[in-house]
């Protein structure tokens, strides 16, 4: 889901560069996505803004790796899960913590990628919830 949010943030960020302030851009995108995906409840205007900020703070995050990397606190029945890496390089590590954690980090570190990555690393290292 985080990869989807990142790619959606990238696409919306690109589209949003052409929108004018006060145009209702985020409201329109929110309504359109809710119409297309009626069963999904994560397309509020606020959450869409977070998706854009998620992309902006981590613009180099990779979408190529499809390796299973469990999030902090995730339970799995896979016996090999213990042997899998909890995080890859910095372009992948942001996908290893839950969306709520990323939102808090974005709130506290917007515009400072190094600081955000520090907290992502510490969240994983310490198992912060």
Kindly tell me if the per-residue pLDDT of 19 is higher than 90: no
pLDDT of the residue at 84 = 39
DSSP-derived secondary structure for 62-81:
-S------PPTT-----TTG
Predicted confidence band of residue 129 (pLDDT cuts 50, 70, 90): confident
Predicted confidence band of residue 109 (pLDDT cuts 50, 70, 90): very high
* Domain ranges for the chain: 2-126
Residues 23-63: pLDDT tens digits? 788 899 999 999 999 998 899 999 999 999 999 999 988 65
pLDDT of the residue at 117 = 94
Section 101-123 average pLDDT: 94
Q: What is the pTM of this model?
A: 0.76
Q: Which two tokens stand for residue 16?
A: 């949003």
Q: Which two tokens stand for residue 33?
A: 């996505």
Kindly tell me if the per-residue pLDDT of 126 is higher than 80: yes
Residues 48-106: pLDDT tens digits? 999 999 999 999 886 544 444 455 555 545 544 444 344 445 668 999 999 999 999 99
């Amino acid at each position: 889901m985080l990869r989807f949010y990142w790619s959606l943030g990238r696409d919306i960020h690109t589209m949003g560069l052409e929108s004018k302030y006060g145009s209702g851009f985020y409201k329109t995108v929110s309504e359109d996505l809710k119409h297309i995906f009626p069963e999904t409840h994560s397309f509020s205007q606020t959450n869409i803004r977070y998706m854009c900020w998620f992309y902006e703070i981590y613009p180099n995050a990779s979408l190529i790796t499809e390796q299973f990397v469990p999030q902090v606190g995730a339970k799995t029945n896979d016996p090999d899960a213990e042997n899998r890496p909890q995080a890859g390089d910095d372009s992948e590590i942001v996908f290893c913590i839950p969306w709520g954690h990323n939102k808090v980090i974005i709130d506290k570190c917007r515009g400072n990628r190094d600081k955000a990555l520090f907290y992502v690393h510490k969240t994983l290292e310490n198992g912060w919830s």
